[in-house]
Protein backbone atom coordinates (compact mmCIF):
# COMPACT_ATOMS: atom_id res chain seq x y z
CA UNK A 1 0.00 0.00 0.00
CA UNK A 2 1.25 3.52 -0.75
CA UNK A 3 1.43 6.44 1.60
CA UNK A 4 -1.57 8.31 0.19
CA UNK A 5 -2.54 9.75 3.53
CA UNK A 6 0.90 10.96 4.63
CA UNK A 7 -0.09 14.54 3.95
CA UNK A 8 -3.15 14.19 6.16
CA UNK A 9 -1.27 13.53 9.36
CA UNK A 10 -1.87 17.15 10.29
CA UNK A 11 1.75 17.97 10.84
CA UNK A 12 1.77 21.66 10.11
CA UNK A 13 -2.00 22.10 10.35
CA UNK A 14 -1.72 25.66 11.49
CA UNK A 15 -3.03 27.49 14.46
CA UNK A 16 -5.79 27.20 17.00
CA UNK A 17 -8.98 25.32 16.22
CA UNK A 18 -11.71 27.25 14.44
CA UNK A 19 -14.40 26.03 16.79
CA UNK A 20 -17.18 27.99 15.11
CA UNK A 21 -16.48 26.17 11.82
CA UNK A 22 -16.02 22.82 13.55
CA UNK A 23 -19.40 23.12 15.26
CA UNK A 24 -21.12 23.34 11.86
CA UNK A 25 -20.08 19.72 11.27
CA UNK A 26 -22.01 18.55 14.36
CA UNK A 27 -25.75 19.21 13.93
CA UNK A 28 -26.48 17.51 17.26
CA UNK A 29 -24.90 20.48 19.03
CA UNK A 30 -27.89 22.59 17.93
CA UNK A 31 -30.32 20.41 19.84
CA UNK A 32 -32.38 22.06 22.51
CA UNK A 33 -32.60 20.02 25.70
CA UNK A 34 -34.98 21.13 28.43
CA UNK A 35 -35.34 24.50 26.76
CA UNK A 36 -31.57 25.17 26.53
CA UNK A 37 -29.09 24.63 23.75
CA UNK A 38 -27.23 21.39 24.47
CA UNK A 39 -23.85 21.68 26.14
CA UNK A 40 -22.21 18.34 25.53
CA UNK A 41 -19.58 17.67 28.20
CA UNK A 42 -19.67 13.86 28.14
CA UNK A 43 -16.91 13.32 25.62
CA UNK A 44 -14.84 10.95 27.75
CA UNK A 45 -17.80 8.54 27.57
CA UNK A 46 -18.29 9.02 23.84
CA UNK A 47 -17.85 11.95 21.48
CA UNK A 48 -20.25 13.19 18.84
CA UNK A 49 -19.74 12.38 15.14
CA UNK A 50 -19.27 14.96 12.40
CA UNK A 51 -21.26 14.89 9.16
CA UNK A 52 -18.10 13.71 7.35
CA UNK A 53 -17.99 10.47 9.37
CA UNK A 54 -21.70 9.76 9.05
CA UNK A 55 -21.53 10.49 5.29
CA UNK A 56 -18.55 8.16 4.81
CA UNK A 57 -20.51 5.34 6.44
CA UNK A 58 -23.63 6.13 4.42
CA UNK A 59 -21.62 6.33 1.20
CA UNK A 60 -20.14 2.90 1.84
CA UNK A 61 -23.52 1.28 2.45
CA UNK A 62 -25.27 3.11 -0.39
CA UNK A 63 -22.61 2.74 -3.10
CA UNK A 64 -19.93 0.18 -2.25
CA UNK A 65 -21.41 -2.37 0.15
CA UNK A 66 -20.06 -5.94 -0.13
CA UNK A 67 -18.14 -8.31 2.09
CA UNK A 68 -14.35 -7.99 2.15
CA UNK A 69 -11.66 -10.47 1.14
CA UNK A 70 -14.24 -12.91 -0.20
CA UNK A 71 -15.01 -12.07 -3.79
CA UNK A 72 -13.58 -11.07 -7.12
CA UNK A 73 -16.56 -8.95 -8.10
CA UNK A 74 -16.09 -5.20 -8.32
CA UNK A 75 -18.02 -4.27 -5.17
CA UNK A 76 -16.07 -6.74 -3.06
CA UNK A 77 -12.80 -5.39 -4.46
CA UNK A 78 -13.88 -1.83 -3.68
CA UNK A 79 -14.98 -2.73 -0.16
CA UNK A 80 -11.70 -4.60 0.47
CA UNK A 81 -9.66 -1.66 -0.77
CA UNK A 82 -11.57 0.82 1.40
CA UNK A 83 -11.25 -1.47 4.41
CA UNK A 84 -7.50 -1.90 3.91
CA UNK A 85 -7.05 1.81 3.39
CA UNK A 86 -8.77 2.39 6.76
CA UNK A 87 -5.95 0.41 8.39
CA UNK A 88 -3.45 2.57 6.56
CA UNK A 89 -5.05 5.84 7.70
CA UNK A 90 -5.14 4.65 11.30
CA UNK A 91 -1.51 3.55 11.09
CA UNK A 92 -0.58 7.08 10.08
CA UNK A 93 -2.70 8.53 12.86
CA UNK A 94 -0.47 6.86 15.46
CA UNK A 95 2.69 6.82 13.33
CA UNK A 96 2.86 3.03 13.21
CA UNK A 97 5.62 1.50 11.13
CA UNK A 98 3.16 -0.27 8.88
CA UNK A 99 -0.61 -0.59 8.27
CA UNK A 100 -0.61 -4.32 9.04
CA UNK A 101 0.34 -3.72 12.69
CA UNK A 102 -3.09 -2.13 13.10
CA UNK A 103 -5.70 -4.62 14.28
CA UNK A 104 -9.27 -3.36 14.13
CA UNK A 105 -11.23 -4.25 17.25
CA UNK A 106 -14.62 -3.32 18.60
CA UNK A 107 -13.19 -1.03 21.31
CA UNK A 108 -10.34 -0.56 23.80
CA UNK A 109 -11.75 -3.29 26.03
CA UNK A 110 -11.49 -5.88 23.27
CA UNK A 111 -7.95 -4.79 22.41
CA UNK A 112 -6.74 -5.28 25.97
CA UNK A 113 -8.51 -8.63 26.28
CA UNK A 114 -6.83 -9.66 23.03
CA UNK A 115 -3.38 -8.98 24.50
CA UNK A 116 -4.20 -10.66 27.81
CA UNK A 117 -5.58 -13.82 26.19
CA UNK A 118 -2.95 -14.17 23.45
CA UNK A 119 0.37 -12.78 24.65
CA UNK A 120 -0.61 -13.16 28.30
CA UNK A 121 -1.67 -16.80 28.21
CA UNK A 122 1.48 -17.65 26.28
CA UNK A 123 3.98 -15.70 28.35
CA UNK A 124 2.66 -15.22 31.88
CA UNK A 125 2.84 -18.12 34.32
CA UNK A 126 2.61 -19.11 37.95
CA UNK A 127 4.48 -16.76 40.25
CA UNK A 128 4.91 -14.07 37.57
CA UNK A 129 3.67 -10.56 38.26
CA UNK A 130 1.47 -8.11 36.37
CA UNK A 131 1.80 -4.47 37.36
CA UNK A 132 -1.29 -2.25 37.13
CA UNK A 133 -2.19 1.15 38.58
CA UNK A 134 -4.98 2.19 40.94
CA UNK A 135 -6.06 4.70 38.31
CA UNK A 136 -6.83 2.02 35.73
CA UNK A 137 -10.25 1.75 34.09
CA UNK A 138 -11.89 -1.63 34.75
CA UNK A 139 -11.17 -2.47 31.10
CA UNK A 140 -7.45 -2.36 31.77
CA UNK A 141 -7.73 -4.06 35.13
CA UNK A 142 -10.15 -6.96 34.92
CA UNK A 143 -8.67 -8.73 31.84
CA UNK A 144 -5.30 -8.83 33.64
CA UNK A 145 -6.87 -10.00 36.88
CA UNK A 146 -8.64 -12.77 34.98
CA UNK A 147 -5.37 -13.77 33.34
CA UNK A 148 -3.63 -13.79 36.74
CA UNK A 149 -6.39 -16.02 38.12
CA UNK A 150 -6.07 -18.43 35.17
CA UNK A 151 -2.30 -18.84 35.31
CA UNK A 152 -1.57 -18.24 39.00
CA UNK A 153 0.19 -14.91 38.52
CA UNK A 154 0.12 -12.04 40.98
CA UNK A 155 -1.22 -8.51 40.46
CA UNK A 156 0.78 -5.60 41.91
CA UNK A 157 -0.75 -2.11 41.99
CA UNK A 158 0.97 1.25 41.77
CA UNK A 159 -0.66 4.00 43.80
CA UNK A 160 -1.20 7.69 43.02
CA UNK A 161 -0.31 10.80 45.00
CA UNK A 162 -3.12 12.77 46.61
CA UNK A 163 -2.95 15.07 43.56
CA UNK A 164 -3.70 12.15 41.27
CA UNK A 165 -0.19 11.71 39.85
CA UNK A 166 1.20 8.24 39.37
CA UNK A 167 3.74 7.21 42.03
CA UNK A 168 6.71 6.59 39.73
CA UNK A 169 8.89 5.93 42.79
CA UNK A 170 6.55 3.08 43.71
CA UNK A 171 6.48 1.81 40.13
CA UNK A 172 10.26 1.45 40.24
CA UNK A 173 10.00 -0.45 43.52
CA UNK A 174 7.20 -2.75 42.42
CA UNK A 175 8.67 -3.72 39.04
CA UNK A 176 11.03 -6.66 39.38
CA UNK A 177 12.46 -9.63 37.51
CA UNK A 178 9.12 -11.34 38.13
CA UNK A 179 7.19 -8.61 36.23
CA UNK A 180 5.95 -9.74 32.84
CA UNK A 181 3.52 -6.92 32.04
CA UNK A 182 3.13 -3.29 33.00
CA UNK A 183 -0.35 -2.17 31.90
CA UNK A 184 -1.34 1.44 32.46
CA UNK A 185 -3.68 4.21 31.32
CA UNK A 186 -1.95 6.87 29.25
CA UNK A 187 -4.56 9.23 30.62
CA UNK A 188 -6.99 8.72 33.50
CA UNK A 189 -10.67 8.98 32.60
CA UNK A 190 -11.40 10.32 36.10
CA UNK A 191 -8.59 12.51 37.40
CA UNK A 192 -7.41 13.40 33.90
CA UNK A 193 -3.76 12.71 34.66
CA UNK A 194 -1.61 12.27 31.56
CA UNK A 195 1.05 9.81 32.57
CA UNK A 196 4.69 9.93 31.58
CA UNK A 197 4.42 7.10 29.08
CA UNK A 198 8.09 6.99 28.10
CA UNK A 199 9.13 6.79 31.74
CA UNK A 200 6.74 3.89 32.38
CA UNK A 201 7.96 2.09 29.24
CA UNK A 202 11.59 2.53 30.33
CA UNK A 203 10.87 1.04 33.74
CA UNK A 204 8.94 -1.90 32.21
CA UNK A 205 11.64 -2.60 29.65
CA UNK A 206 14.39 -2.48 32.30
CA UNK A 207 13.15 -5.91 33.43
CA UNK A 208 12.07 -7.10 29.95
CA UNK A 209 8.38 -6.74 30.77
CA UNK A 210 6.02 -5.53 28.04
CA UNK A 211 4.36 -2.13 28.32
CA UNK A 212 0.65 -2.15 27.44
CA UNK A 213 -0.85 1.31 26.99
CA UNK A 214 -4.54 1.99 27.41
CA UNK A 215 -4.89 4.96 25.07
CA UNK A 216 -8.70 5.29 25.29
CA UNK A 217 -8.53 8.83 26.70
CA UNK A 218 -5.18 9.97 25.32
CA UNK A 219 -5.24 9.07 21.65
CA UNK A 220 -8.37 11.15 20.83
CA UNK A 221 -6.94 14.22 22.57
CA UNK A 222 -3.17 14.43 22.06
CA UNK A 223 -0.55 13.50 19.46
CA UNK A 224 0.31 9.82 19.63
CA UNK A 225 3.44 8.38 18.09
CA UNK A 226 3.97 4.72 18.87
CA UNK A 227 7.52 4.80 17.52
CA UNK A 228 8.45 7.60 19.86
CA UNK A 229 6.57 6.28 22.90
CA UNK A 230 8.16 2.84 22.67
CA UNK A 231 5.10 0.94 23.97
CA UNK A 232 4.61 -2.69 22.97
CA UNK A 233 0.82 -2.52 22.64
CA UNK A 234 -1.59 0.39 22.38
CA UNK A 235 -5.38 0.07 22.52
CA UNK A 236 -7.94 2.79 21.81
CA UNK A 237 -11.61 3.26 20.88
CA UNK A 238 -13.14 4.82 17.77
CA UNK A 239 -16.22 6.20 19.48
CA UNK A 240 -14.13 8.45 21.74
CA UNK A 241 -12.51 10.15 18.72
CA UNK A 242 -15.47 11.04 16.46
CA UNK A 243 -15.73 7.52 15.03
CA UNK A 244 -18.57 5.00 15.18
CA UNK A 245 -19.34 2.87 18.22
CA UNK A 246 -18.13 -0.71 17.92
CA UNK A 247 -14.77 0.33 16.47
CA UNK A 248 -11.30 0.46 17.95
CA UNK A 249 -7.66 -0.26 17.33
CA UNK A 250 -5.07 -2.48 18.87
CA UNK A 251 -1.60 -1.62 17.65
CA UNK A 252 1.16 -4.06 18.53
CA UNK A 253 4.85 -4.43 17.85
CA UNK A 254 5.23 -6.56 14.75
CA UNK A 255 7.78 -8.99 16.21
CA UNK A 256 5.42 -9.71 19.10
CA UNK A 257 2.26 -9.97 16.99
CA UNK A 258 3.89 -12.34 14.54
CA UNK A 259 4.53 -14.85 17.30
CA UNK A 260 0.91 -14.93 18.45
CA UNK A 261 -2.04 -17.09 17.48
CA UNK A 262 -5.54 -15.62 17.01
CA UNK A 263 -7.64 -14.46 19.93
CA UNK A 264 -10.85 -15.46 18.14
CA UNK A 265 -10.61 -18.10 15.41
CA UNK A 266 -12.70 -18.45 12.27
CA UNK A 267 -13.12 -17.04 8.79
CA UNK A 268 -10.41 -14.64 7.61
CA UNK A 269 -7.93 -15.73 10.29
CA UNK A 270 -6.38 -18.48 8.17
CA UNK A 271 -4.40 -19.12 5.02
CA UNK A 272 -5.35 -22.77 4.87
CA UNK A 273 -7.20 -25.37 6.89
CA UNK A 274 -7.32 -29.17 6.54
CA UNK A 275 -9.30 -31.45 8.81
CA UNK A 276 -6.40 -31.60 11.22
CA UNK A 277 -4.14 -28.60 10.53
CA UNK A 278 -4.32 -24.84 10.15
CA UNK A 279 -1.98 -22.18 8.78
CA UNK A 280 -2.75 -18.80 10.32
CA UNK A 281 -3.09 -15.74 8.14
CA UNK A 282 -0.69 -12.81 7.95
CA UNK A 283 -1.10 -9.70 10.09
CA UNK A 284 -3.53 -8.17 10.79
CA UNK A 285 -6.16 -10.58 9.42
CA UNK A 286 -5.14 -13.32 11.84
CA UNK A 287 -6.65 -11.16 14.59
CA UNK A 288 -9.74 -9.95 12.74
CA UNK A 289 -11.97 -13.01 12.76
CA UNK A 290 -15.24 -13.16 10.84
CA UNK A 291 -16.91 -10.47 8.77
CA UNK A 292 -15.55 -7.23 10.21
CA UNK A 293 -17.28 -3.93 10.90
CA UNK A 294 -16.39 -2.66 7.42
CA UNK A 295 -18.49 0.50 7.48
CA UNK A 296 -17.27 1.16 11.03
CA UNK A 297 -13.64 0.95 9.92
CA UNK A 298 -14.31 3.36 7.06
CA UNK A 299 -16.07 5.75 9.46
CA UNK A 300 -13.23 5.53 11.95
CA UNK A 301 -10.65 6.28 9.26
CA UNK A 302 -12.72 9.31 8.25
CA UNK A 303 -12.70 10.43 11.90
CA UNK A 304 -8.91 10.05 12.05
CA UNK A 305 -8.58 12.09 8.83
CA UNK A 306 -10.79 14.79 10.32
CA UNK A 307 -8.58 14.98 13.43
CA UNK A 308 -5.37 14.89 11.39
CA UNK A 309 -6.63 17.85 9.34
CA UNK A 310 -7.16 19.80 12.58
CA UNK A 311 -3.77 18.69 13.89
CA UNK A 312 -3.58 16.80 17.17
CA UNK A 313 -1.24 19.43 18.69
CA UNK A 314 -4.00 21.97 18.11
CA UNK A 315 -6.62 19.66 19.64
CA UNK A 316 -4.45 19.33 22.74
CA UNK A 317 -3.82 23.09 22.97
CA UNK A 318 -7.55 23.79 22.67
CA UNK A 319 -8.31 21.46 25.58
CA UNK A 320 -5.52 22.97 27.70
CA UNK A 321 -7.12 26.37 27.13
CA UNK A 322 -10.53 25.01 28.20
CA UNK A 323 -8.96 23.47 31.30
CA UNK A 324 -7.24 26.73 32.29
CA UNK A 325 -10.56 28.52 31.85
CA UNK A 326 -12.35 25.90 33.96
CA UNK A 327 -9.88 26.11 36.84
CA UNK A 328 -10.11 29.90 36.81
CA UNK A 329 -13.91 30.01 36.73
CA UNK A 330 -14.31 27.20 39.29
CA UNK A 331 -12.52 29.41 41.83
CA UNK A 332 -15.78 31.38 41.99
CA UNK A 333 -17.48 28.29 43.41
CA UNK A 334 -15.22 28.38 46.46
CA UNK A 335 -15.06 25.49 48.87
CA UNK A 336 -18.41 24.11 47.81
CA UNK A 337 -16.89 22.31 44.87
CA UNK A 338 -13.93 19.92 45.00
CA UNK A 339 -12.04 19.05 41.82
CA UNK A 340 -9.98 15.86 41.75
CA UNK A 341 -6.65 15.41 40.02
CA UNK A 342 -3.68 17.60 39.11
CA UNK A 343 -4.18 21.31 38.39
CA UNK A 344 -1.20 21.54 36.03
CA UNK A 345 -2.61 21.46 32.50
CA UNK A 346 0.70 20.15 31.17
CA UNK A 347 -0.04 16.81 32.84
CA UNK A 348 -3.80 16.81 32.59
CA UNK A 349 -6.25 16.19 29.78
CA UNK A 350 -9.65 17.82 29.34
CA UNK A 351 -11.47 15.83 31.99
CA UNK A 352 -12.80 17.58 35.10
CA UNK A 353 -14.22 15.32 37.80
CA UNK A 354 -15.66 17.04 40.83
CA UNK A 355 -18.22 16.91 43.62
CA UNK A 356 -20.47 19.52 45.15
CA UNK A 357 -20.14 19.18 48.90
CA UNK A 358 -23.31 17.83 50.49
CA UNK A 359 -24.84 16.64 47.22
CA UNK A 360 -24.84 13.20 45.64
CA UNK A 361 -23.09 13.17 42.26
CA UNK A 362 -26.23 11.87 40.53
CA UNK A 363 -28.28 14.77 41.95
CA UNK A 364 -25.81 17.24 40.46
CA UNK A 365 -25.83 15.42 37.11
CA UNK A 366 -29.63 15.43 36.98
CA UNK A 367 -29.76 19.13 37.88
CA UNK A 368 -27.24 19.96 35.13
CA UNK A 369 -29.37 18.04 32.63
CA UNK A 370 -32.33 20.27 33.51
CA UNK A 371 -30.19 23.09 32.08
CA UNK A 372 -29.24 21.12 28.95
CA UNK A 373 -25.75 20.23 30.19
CA UNK A 374 -24.72 16.61 29.60
CA UNK A 375 -22.11 15.26 32.02
CA UNK A 376 -21.48 11.79 33.36
CA UNK A 377 -21.86 10.86 37.01
CA UNK A 378 -20.88 7.76 38.95
CA UNK A 379 -17.84 5.56 39.27
CA UNK A 380 -16.77 5.90 35.61
CA UNK A 381 -15.70 2.25 35.40
CA UNK A 382 -12.88 3.04 37.80
CA UNK A 383 -14.24 2.08 41.20
CA UNK A 384 -10.85 1.30 42.81
CA UNK A 385 -9.68 4.83 41.97
CA UNK A 386 -12.76 6.32 43.64
CA UNK A 387 -12.20 4.15 46.73
CA UNK A 388 -8.60 5.39 46.76
CA UNK A 389 -9.91 8.98 46.71
CA UNK A 390 -12.32 8.11 49.53
CA UNK A 391 -15.46 8.76 47.49
CA UNK A 392 -18.14 6.74 45.75
CA UNK A 393 -18.45 8.77 42.60
CA UNK A 394 -17.95 12.07 40.87
CA UNK A 395 -19.54 14.39 38.36
CA UNK A 396 -17.38 14.44 35.24
CA UNK A 397 -17.27 17.15 32.60
CA UNK A 398 -15.10 16.20 29.66
CA UNK A 399 -14.26 18.38 26.67
CA UNK A 400 -13.54 18.06 22.99
CA UNK A 401 -12.84 20.03 19.85
CA UNK A 402 -16.30 21.65 19.67
CA UNK A 403 -16.52 22.88 23.26
CA UNK A 404 -16.04 26.54 24.09
CA UNK A 405 -15.11 28.83 26.99
CA UNK A 406 -18.63 30.29 26.75
CA UNK A 407 -20.10 26.85 27.45
CA UNK A 408 -17.87 26.59 30.52
CA UNK A 409 -19.09 30.02 31.66
CA UNK A 410 -22.70 28.83 31.38
CA UNK A 411 -21.80 25.59 33.19
CA UNK A 412 -20.26 27.53 36.09
CA UNK A 413 -23.31 29.81 36.34
CA UNK A 414 -25.58 26.74 36.54
CA UNK A 415 -23.29 25.23 39.17
CA UNK A 416 -23.62 28.43 41.19
CA UNK A 417 -27.41 27.97 41.09
CA UNK A 418 -27.01 24.32 42.17
CA UNK A 419 -24.77 25.39 45.07
CA UNK A 420 -27.31 28.06 46.06
CA UNK A 421 -30.12 25.49 46.07
CA UNK A 422 -27.98 22.85 47.73
CA UNK A 423 -30.08 22.38 50.85
CA UNK A 424 -33.25 21.90 48.82
CA UNK A 425 -31.59 19.60 46.30
CA UNK A 426 -30.09 17.48 49.07
CA UNK A 427 -33.65 16.44 50.02
CA UNK A 428 -34.29 15.02 46.52
CA UNK A 429 -34.40 11.20 46.54
CA UNK A 430 -31.27 9.71 45.01
CA UNK A 431 -31.42 6.63 42.95
CA UNK A 432 -27.97 5.35 43.81
CA UNK A 433 -27.68 3.30 40.70
CA UNK A 434 -24.29 2.05 39.74
CA UNK A 435 -23.51 3.87 36.54
CA UNK A 436 -20.27 3.16 34.83
CA UNK A 437 -19.48 -0.18 36.35
C1 LIG B 1 -9.23 4.95 30.30
C2 LIG B 1 -10.23 4.07 29.62
N3 LIG B 1 -9.88 2.83 29.29
C4 LIG B 1 -10.71 1.99 28.67
C5 LIG B 1 -11.99 2.37 28.38
C6 LIG B 1 -12.90 1.40 27.72
O7 LIG B 1 -13.30 1.88 26.48
P8 LIG B 1 -14.40 1.09 25.64
O9 LIG B 1 -15.63 1.06 26.49
O10 LIG B 1 -14.58 1.89 24.41
O11 LIG B 1 -13.86 -0.27 25.42
C12 LIG B 1 -12.43 3.65 28.73
C13 LIG B 1 -13.82 4.07 28.48
O14 LIG B 1 -14.33 5.00 29.05
C15 LIG B 1 -11.51 4.53 29.35
O16 LIG B 1 -11.87 5.76 29.70
Considering only residues 348 and 1, tell me which one the structure prediction assigns the higher pLDDT. Answer: 348
- Find the helix or strand (DSSP H, E) in which 322 lies: helix 312-330
Q: What is the pLDDT of residue 436?
A: 54
Burial of 31 (0-12, 13-18, 19+ CB in 10 A): exposed
CA 274 to chain centre: 40
Entry pTM: 0.96
Task: Confirm whether 381 is a catalytic residue.
Answer: yes
Output the average pLDDT for the chain: 95
Cα dihedral 77/78/79/85 (nearest 10): 110
| Distance between Cα 162 and ligand 1 center (Å) | 23
Beta strand 179-185 with 210-214 is parallel
> CB-based contacts of 249: which residues, under 8 Å, 6+ apart?
90, 94, 102, 103, 104, 105, 111, 234, 235, 236, 238, 300
Q: What is the pLDDT of residue 1?
A: 42
Peptide bond into 284 cis (omega under 30): yes
Ligand 1 atom nearest the C-alpha of 136 is 1
What's the mean pLDDT in 241-264? 97
Q: What is the largest CA-CA distance in the chain?
A: 72
The HSE-up count of residue 335 (CA atoms within 13 Å, CB side) is: 0
Whole-number Å distance between alpha carbons of 385 and 374: 23
| Distance between Cα 380 and ligand 1 center (Å) | 9
Q: Is 50 exceeded by the pLDDT of residue 7?
A: no
Q: Is 60 exceeded by the pLDDT of residue 3?
A: no
Q: What is the pLDDT of residue 412?
A: 98
Beta strand 373-374 with 39-40 is parallel
Query: Which residue's alpha carbon is at the smallest distance from atom 7 of ligand 1?
Result: 108
Give the other-Cβ count within 10 Å of 177's Cβ: 10
DSSP 8-class letter at 187: B
Whole-number Å distance between alpha carbons of 48 and 325: 22
Ligand 1, CB within 6 Å, residue ranges: 44, 107-109, 137, 139-140, 185, 189, 214, 216-217, 237, 381
Whole-number Å distance between alpha carbons of 419 and 402: 27
Q: Mapping DSSP to helix (H, G, I), strand (E, B) and coil, where does residue 115 land?
A: helix
> What domains are there in the chain, each with its CATH number?
10-47+311-422 (3.90.1150.10), 57-308 (3.40.640.10)
pLDDT digits (tens, 9 = 90+) for 110-129: 999 999 999 999 999 999 99
Tell me if 252 sits within 8 A of 275, measured CB to CB: no
Amino acid sequence: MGLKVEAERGVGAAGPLNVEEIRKDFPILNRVINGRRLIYFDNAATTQRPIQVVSAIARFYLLHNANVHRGFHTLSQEASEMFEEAHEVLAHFINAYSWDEVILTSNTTEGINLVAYTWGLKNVGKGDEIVLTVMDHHSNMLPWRKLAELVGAKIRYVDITDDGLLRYDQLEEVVSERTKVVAFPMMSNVVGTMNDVKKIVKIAHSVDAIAVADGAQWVPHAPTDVRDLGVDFLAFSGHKMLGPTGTGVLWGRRDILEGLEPFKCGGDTIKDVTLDSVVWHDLPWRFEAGTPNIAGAIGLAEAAKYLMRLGMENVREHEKELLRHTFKRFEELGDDVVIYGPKDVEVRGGVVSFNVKGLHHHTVGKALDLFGIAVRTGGHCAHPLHYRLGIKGTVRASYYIYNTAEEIDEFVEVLKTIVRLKDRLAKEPVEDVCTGG
